């Protein structure tokens, strides 16, 4: 059953995004400070994940186009 949400409980997309950015930045700084990984390792992983997600998104788009053509 759906629970009604009061309009004061809603947040804007910008507020939600900013919250995620702040949390990710805090977590990254903490992990770097504790020596779990270096800033360089983190940046390299960001590049890797970004490329993986881009390829996955492009693959999904191609499947949608392929399916729409009926081939």
Exposure pattern of 9-18 as b/e (b: 16+ CB <10 Å)?
Answer: eeeeeeeeee
Handedness of CA 40, 46, 47, 49 (dihedral sign): positive
> Which pLDDT does position 70 carry in this prediction?
59
What's the Cα-to-Cα distance from 12 to each of 5, 29, 39, 70, rounded to whole Å? 14, 26, 31, 39
Q: Is residue 39 part of a domain?
A: yes
pLDDT in tens, 13-46: 999 999 999 999 999 999 999 999 999 999 999 9
Q: Is residue 64 part of a domain?
A: yes
Tell the residue number behind the tokens 């910008």, with chain if given.
14
Coil vs helix vs strand at 3: coil
Q: Is residue 62 part of a domain?
A: yes
Q: Is residue 1 part of a domain?
A: no
Q: Is residue 4 part of a domain?
A: no
The pTM for the full model equals: 0.66
Q: Is residue 54 part of a domain?
A: yes
């Amino acid at each position: 059953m759906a629970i009604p949400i009061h309009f004061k409980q809603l947040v804007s997309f910008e507020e939600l995004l900013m919250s995620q950015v702040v949390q990710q930045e805090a977590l990254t700084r903490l992990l770097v400070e504790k020596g779990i990984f270096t800033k360089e390792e983190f940046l390299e992983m960001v590049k890797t994940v970004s490329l993986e997600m881009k390829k996955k998104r492009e693959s999904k788009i191609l499947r949608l186009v392929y399916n729409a053509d009926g081939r």
